[in-house]
Amino acid sequence: MRVRLADLRVWWSANVFRIVFYALLLAVVIRTFIFQPFNIPSGSMENTLLVGDYFFVTKFSYGYSHHSLPWSPRLFPGRVWSGQPERGDVVVFKLPARPSEDYIKRVVGLPGDRIQMIGGILHINGIPVRMEKVEDYVRVTPFGGEERFERYRETLPNGVSHYVLSREADYPGWDDTQEFVVPPGHYFMMGDNRDQSNDSRIPNSGVGFVPEENLVGRADLILFSTDGSAKNWEFWKWPAAIRYGRFFQGIH
C-alpha cells in the first residue's frame, strides 16, 4: 500500500495541531486552577523576596474569582470554593485601583481588624506586635559595594514570624498612621520592606483595603532567582548571576 507524501503532510499537520492545542489547554488549566508563575520587579518585599526571584502562586489556596482567569473576564461575581487568607500569608492580588496590575504583599489585617503604625511598629487591635532586632540586612549594590539596613523579626498575633526592614521612609507619615478599620470582605496588606512599600497604609496608593475577589493566590515557592547582572543574551554571565541558594525556597 502506497502512502502519498501529501497524505503524510496532512496527517503530520493534524497531529501537530492537536498536540499544540492540548498542550495550550493544559497550560491554561494549570495556570487558572493550580499554579501561576510570577517574578519580583521591585524591592517592596525585601528580604523575603528579592528583585529577580521567580516564584509560584497556588491558585486554589483561597478559591477562585474572575481574577483567577486569564485577562480577568467578569464571568461570575465573588469567589467560589472560597478560603480565607491567614494573617502573615504572602499574597498576590490585583491592584484595586488598576486591576490589570499584580501586586504582592503580606496580609497583616483581616476583616474587622484595627490596624495602625505607631513609631514604625505595627499595632493590631490596639496591641503592638512583637519586634526583635536581629543582624543587619546587607545588600550588594550593582557597583559591588554594600548597603546595610536594620532588620527585625516581627511576630504577628497568630505566631507567624518574618523579617522586616527598617530604613529611611519614602514618606514621613508611613511610620505613624491613622487607625484603619478593615471592612468585611477586605484585607490590609503591607510589604516587608516597610519604609519602601506602596501598600494599604499609603493614601492614594491605589492599594487601600483589598477586596477578597482581588486575591489571586498565595506565594509558596521560589523556583528560580537571578541578581540581574546578566542580560538575556549574555549567556556566559548566567552562572555568576544565578542565586543558586534561593532555588526551591519556601516563602514565609
Q: What secondary structure letter does DSSP report for 247?
A: T
Q: What is the layout of strands, in order, in the sheet containing 127-128?
A: 127-128, 121-124, 114-118, 180-181
The rounded distance, in Å, linking the Cα atoms of 40 and 9 is 44
- Give the model's pLDDT for residue 1: 46
pLDDT bucket at 25, cuts 50 / 70 / 90: low
Residues 96-122, mean pLDDT to the nearest whole number: 95
Q: Is 115 helix (H, G, I), strand (E, B) or coil?
A: strand
Catalytic residue chosen out of the listed positions 59, 65, 68, 105: 105
State yes or no: is 231 an active-site residue: no
How confident is the prediction for the chain on average, in pLDDT?
87
pLDDT top residue among 69 and 87: 87
Topology of domain 38-250, CATH: Umud Fragment, subunit A (2.10.109)
Please spell the DSSP secondary structure of 148-207, one letter per residue.
EEEEEEEE-TTS-EEEEEE---SSGGGSS---EEPPTTEEEEE-SBGGG--STTSTTSS-
Task: Summarize pLDDT for 178-194 with one digit per residue, the tens.
Answer: 999 999 999 999 999 99
Q: Could you give the percent of the chain with pLDDT greater than 70?
A: 84
- 137 vs 193: CA distance, rounded Å: 11
Is 59 catalytic? The answer is no
